[in-house]
Amino acid sequence: MMTVNPSFHETQPLVIAFGSDHAGFLLKKRLLNLVEKQKYVVIDCGTMDQHPVDYPDFAERVVQKVLNHQADRGVLICGTGIGMAMAANRHRGIRAACCYDVYQTLMARQHNDANVLCLGERVVDEKMAHQCLITFLQTEFEGGRHQRRLDKID
């Protein structure tokens, strides 16, 4: 069962930092349009087109927004999501989860307090990516026994 807090968004919208490389640009653009319609505050950290770029540069931009409390959560998109997750997780305090379905996303939030969602444009269709994103934004961390485990990571 998903734990959501819909009233939170009515009082203070989440700020979401998005970033992608060229391989994730089109999915990023579509997801940005979807969440902007739902009244989230969006920061687009690039890339702004499909010209080849290096994914670690855009992971860094999003990670810094999250670590500096300029964004509540981050979303990173590349071809598979794997490179972005690897780059983001190099930073203490970032818990980036590469997710391909709603259940993975739900567990990443409930049990691991993921603060960055990584998606792969080449492996997740737009509908599933949207469902994962909404799950990521609306699911709360359960705390309890899971907090003890997170403390061991940080």
Per-residue pLDDT of the chain (154 residues; tens, 9 = 90+): 344 444 444 578 999 999 999 999 999 999 999 998 988 999 999 999 999 999 999 999 999 999 999 999 999 999 999 999 999 999 999 999 999 999 999 999 999 999 999 999 999 999 999 999 999 999 999 999 999 999 998 7
3-state SS class at 15: strand
Distances (CA, A) of 64 to 37, 43, 106: 25, 12, 24
pTM confidence score:
0.92
In CATH terms, the fold of domain 13-153 is Ribose 5-phosphate Isomerase B; Chain: A, (3.40.1400)
- Omega before 139 within 30 of 0, i.e. cis: no
Task: Take residue 116 and report the two structure tokens written for it.
Answer: 């960055």
Catalytic residue ranges: 111
Contact 23, 79 (CB under 8 A): yes
Domain range summary for the chain, segments of one domain joined by +:
13-153
Q: Of 90, 92, 152, 141, which Cα lies nearest the Cα of 114? A: 141
